[in-house]
Structure 1
Amino acid sequence: MDSRTSAQDVMRCDLCETAVVQMHCDTCFVNLCIACVGKHMISDESKDHKVVKFQARKSTPLYPLCTSHNKQQCILYCKQCEFSVCTECLTSDQHLGHNFSDILKVVDEIKDKIIKEQIELHETIYPTYQDIASDVQNKMSQLEKEYGDLSTAITKHGEDWHREIDKLVKKLKAKVDEMKNTQLQTLQKHLDEINKKMSDIKDEIDSIEMAIDTNDMSKLFSITPMASVINLYRNLPQKLVPILPKFIPRKIQELGKLFGTLSSSSLTSDKHGYSMKTTQKSPEAAPPVKQLLDEPETVTTIDTGYKSYLYNVACLSDEEIWTSGFDSTMKLYNINQGSLLKSITIKSGYKPSDIAVTKSGDLVYTDYLDRTVNIVKNEKIEEVIRLQNWRPEGVCSTSSGDFLVIMDSDDNTQTKVVCYSGSTEKQTIQFDDKNKPLYSSGLYVRYITTSDYITENRNLDICVSDWGARAVVVVNQAGKLRFRYTGHTPAPKNKSFSPVGITTDSQSHILTADYNNDCVHIIDQDGQFLRYIDCGLSEPIGLCTDTNVNLFVAQYGNRQVKKIKYLK
């Protein structure tokens, strides 16, 4: 048994590891026997060793060292400056006229406060959180049951539908058989009549042949006059043309409305308020109509602290925004306080081409260098899409939870928009009705950032800011071109239209940053210009809007985000 680690043995000296512990150095936190005290005292003469009896360990206060006077212990506390000081600090100009307290008294006060807080945490707050956790767990269990019941009800309804559809199919097929038999019977009767006439004609032919071959003239004169017989058969029978019934199916897309729908789900906070309100808004709910302000106004400005350039901004909530710049770090800021809450570094160590936030609040980013689209969940990065022969630029999360990604080919000769459900490609949008490219290729030089940004409008139009073409390109959900917006004159700085960041709002307005003219263009969902927003903007690049229809503008050079109110 190891004498140093056995719980059944007495404690041994940390130096000799054999003698029983009798002393303790409060400075170095070392257990000593009497014989080793002297050895320890001279082991590091730069320290003021406080050796006490083992039973009295931790009784010697360890004063902090003064930052202004080397090796001096701080035995006082300056109330005005709120930090510890040594006796030499008392005579310095920095503390003239200040009030001082014994640092041990201050420490005791802090300990009393901490002990009270510890008691509150241990006896009140922690048990309360336990109760809340138990309540949430019970709700989750109940939720599992109720959602199971909901799924069962849908399954049962589906089985009922299957039975009714089987009956309907059987009934329709029986009617088809009935119609077929009726028409076949009619045609069969008609065929029988034709066959009867064919038999009569054959008999006439045989009679004529017999009369011709005989020498008996009476038989020849007994034959019915041929003109009347031939005229009888020259009147051909009626031609019957069967007309089949047509099956006209209803569109399968209509089945969902007939089968039934689900109401929206939500999580709401109760009056005690221990859970955040996260009610989901129904996408069908029409937003209140809001008019444009006569003069947009800047609400607040946030310094993001990027050392180089700022590119993108995305709203997590009405209080928090994600940003990214010309480095590998994405930053989450509190809007009202302007404080940094969180930082995430992308895997490749390059820079995000674009960022977006999903309906569930997860951060999504594209990595042009790494050819990937990634999602951040619980601060862990998961690769969702990896491209081959293409590189991703702009990205957005749609109202249905899909991703829209705009991308360039490796040789920079093609640009397209692809819709993904998770990692599955659903739709590609690249050419118009005349098989001409909808978007300009990446052959031009990128002066400031990735060339194209993308967003989805409330009417499900897909809006792309095509920097190379100096246009906003808008297609409908099916990928058919609706319009191109190429700017409005006169522009604030009379420079060429240079669209970069793009976003939409609850009014279906399309807003795009004009980098050259230091402004934001607002157009309606049909491409009609409404107004400019400048508000002293400088090199605007990334855009987003929150649920209160405030506009956030990322400014490239000064690395600031401006929050702007532009609707009444």
Structure 2
Amino acid sequence: MDPSTSAQDVLRCDLCKIGVVAMHCDTCLVNLCKVCVGEHMISDESKNHEIVPFKLRKSTPIYPGCTFHVKERCEMYCNQCDIPVCATCLTSDHHLGHKLLKILRVLEKKKEDINKDQTEMNDTIYPTYQDIVSDVQNRMSQLEKEYEDLSSAISKHGEDWHREIDKLVKKLNAEVDEMKNTQMQTLQKHLDEIIKNISEIKNEINSIDAAVNSNDISKVFNVKSDIKRHRNLPEKILISLPKFTPGRIQGNEFSKFFGALSSSSLTSKKLGYSLKTTENSPEAGSSPPMKQLLDEPETVTTIETEYTNIRNVACLSNEEIWTIGQYNNTMKLYNISQGSLLKSITTKSGDTPADIAVTKTGYLVYTDWRCRTVNIVKNEKIEEVIRLTKCNRHVVCIATSGDFLVIMDSDDINPSKIVRYSGSTERQTIQFDDKGQPLYPSGPSTRHITESRNLDICVSDCEAGTVVVVNRAGRLRFRYKGHTPAPKNKPFSPLGITTDSQSHILTADKCNDCVHIIDQDGQFLCYINFGLRNPWGLCTDTNDYLYVSLYDEGQVKKIRYLQ
């Protein structure tokens, strides 16, 4: 076999390119076969070559060069001068009487200090800044809604007046818009500054990672953590909304009696945020009560829908669920206990929706595969939120932060990806793992997405037979490829996916007529495999009841599986 073309060939010597690597020079970072060790030793006699077995490579520390004596290496550290010193430095009078330490002892203390900083930035500061971003975005969304309500109140009051007051109505609405724009612009600028800080923190974390993982002492000493600046969290912008006070119509004094807006305000609160605490700390929020899996799950009720083939379900509340069917352009809301149809919404384009979800405020969201849009239904009016390009199918879920998480299947050979949107603004793209490999295959596939309580993003891929779970930052946590033996001994074919208060991940397996339950780390727990013929969509309510849509039956089953 030709070593140059074999994909499974062993590691070869960097010098002769033929011999099998057995040794390593920690000084020059060169892999060597036994034959080439001598040749490498005499290739540069000015260096002290540290030759070690290949398995022990990078075990020899690289001492920093002396600032004052060329080619000298510093193995000691002067505590008073706060610098590394070489043997020649020690013979001079400059460090006479100074406290000298072995540099490796100082190195360990230095690593310990910067590791503490790294841990604080990873576990506390960086997540806190992420939460601050979510907080600002949520308050901006709420602000938008409250200003919409404010404008509606003014308009409704204006409907009771005659044409003579139309100009006054427009004037007041213009004042509302101006106040809103001023506050939104201030919050956006505040948000941009926070995101910039997050980027700087992430860069520092990466720099510390590189230094800590290196055996180059100089790199460690060159690390300058800006931890004190990052501990000073940004001010919290507080919003004060104007109030509209309606007046009664009396004569022609429209301006006086129609009503007026109070002034709005923008203030900063220095200690508006606090650093994120860990789950084990006393300050951490209370966790949901522990619930055990039932030995035998039970069906609570079965809802007969009007679909011939039902696909996805989404909980509006513990009493109502939205549903969609195959080749059907109508989304239907059902009462769970009575099984009655409450409402029907037809898609704006007249095409079958690709997926549905429900926002925290109770609005229905659906994706239109043909128009390539994500739409929201407010008061039975459909509004386009996001217009997508270069994708032929997309599914959506609503994150804890209120963001949209959209899976986009590419039209070309590029891998599929997850895109996080805040409103219509793209905030994050998740496409590759830490090694640059695609997380999700290219081309169309039947995929579903959800976010767990610990903010992991979970994607089921039916064609690939895999559930891919990444953390909030988009780093791969694990891949789940099913469990054996399967109820019907068929390949794992995951469709709908959801999570519960215990951070369990549940996914429907259409080929094995069951639901897999795994824990938050990807460990298989159990199957729900009674009376589920071709399960497709899944969702859970706030009481941890599971809803499963059965594609062929046109039914939704409500199942109790936790104690």
The TM-score with structure 1 as length reference comes to: 0.51
> Residues of 2 paired with 1:523 and 1:247: CA distance?
39
> Residues of 1 paired with 2:504 and 2:404: CA distance?
21
Among 448, 455, 458, the alignment partner of 1:453 is 448
> Residues of 2 paired with 1:402 and 1:245: CA distance?
35
Determine the structure 2 residue equivalent to 1:436.
437
> Residues of 1 paired with 2:224 and 2:425: CA distance?
38
Residue correspondence of structure 1 range 454-533 to structure 2 within 5 A: 454-533=449-528
Determine the structure 1 residue equivalent to 2:312.
312
Q: Deviations over 1:377-425 (max 9, x none)?
A: 1111110000121234221001111000001112365310000000000
Contact 2:233 2:273 survives alignment (8 Å): no
Residue correspondence of structure 1 range 200-239 to structure 2 within 5 A: none
- Would you say 1:250 and 2:228 are equivalent positions? yes
RMSD: 3.0
Deviates more, 1:430-439 or 1:404-413: 404-413
> Residues of 1 paired with 2:234 and 2:299: CA distance?
46
Q: Which amino acid aligns with 1:505?
A: D
- Would you say 1:260 and 2:308 are equivalent positions? no
Determine the structure 2 residue equivalent to 1:551.
546
Gaps (5+ residues) in structure 1?
A: 1-132, 138-147, 156-242, 263-282, 444-449
Which one has a bigger Cα radius of gyration?
1
Q: Which amino acid aligns with 1:441?
A: S
Contact 1:502 1:512 survives alignment (8 Å): yes
Determine the structure 2 residue equivalent to 1:237.
none
Determine the structure 2 residue equivalent to 1:419.
420
> Residues of 1 paired with 2:229 and 2:449: CA distance?
32
Gaps (5+ residues) in structure 2?
A: 1-152, 158-178, 187-220, 236-269, 275-283
Determine the structure 2 residue equivalent to 1:324.
324
SS at structure 2 position matched to 1:469: coil
Contact 1:465 1:473 survives alignment (8 Å): yes
Contact 1:321 1:334 survives alignment (8 Å): yes
Distance 1:515 1:244, change over 3 A: closer
1:367: Cα distance to partner? 1.1
SS at structure 1 position matched to 2:233: helix
Contact 1:511 1:523 survives alignment (8 Å): yes
Determine the structure 2 residue equivalent to 1:389.
390
1:293: Cα distance to partner? 0.4
Contact 1:442 1:451 survives alignment (8 Å): no
- Would you say 1:542 and 2:537 are equivalent positions? yes
Q: Which amino acid aligns with 2:484?
A: T
Determine the structure 1 residue equivalent to 2:281.
none
> Residues of 2 paired with 1:400 and 1:421: CA distance?
9
> Residues of 2 paired with 1:459 and 1:538: CA distance?
31
Residue correspondence of structure 1 range 32-431 to structure 2 within 5 A: 248-250=226-228, 252=230, 255=233, 259-261=271-273, 284-306=285-307, 308-326=308-326, 327-411=328-412, 413-431=414-432
Distance 1:500 1:245, change over 3 A: closer
> Residues of 1 paired with 2:316 and 2:229: CA distance?
39
Contact 2:411 2:443 survives alignment (8 Å): no
Distance 1:246 1:349, change over 3 A: closer
Distance 1:293 1:254, change over 3 A: farther
1:481: Cα distance to partner? 0.3
Aligned residues: 307
Determine the structure 2 residue equivalent to 1:94.
none
> Residues of 1 paired with 2:223 and 2:296: CA distance?
66
1:468: Cα distance to partner? 2.1
Contact 1:298 1:535 survives alignment (8 Å): no
Q: Which amino acid aligns with 2:497?
A: I
Contact 1:311 1:554 survives alignment (8 Å): yes
Contact 2:313 2:538 survives alignment (8 Å): yes
SS at structure 2 position matched to 1:259: coil
> Residues of 1 paired with 2:297 and 2:481: CA distance?
23
Query: Identity, % of aligned pairs?
Result: 67
1:253: Cα distance to partner? 6.9
Distance 1:251 1:529, change over 3 A: farther
Contact 1:373 1:392 survives alignment (8 Å): no
Distance 1:543 1:411, change over 3 A: same
Q: Which amino acid aligns with 1:397?
A: I
Distance 1:313 1:249, change over 3 A: same
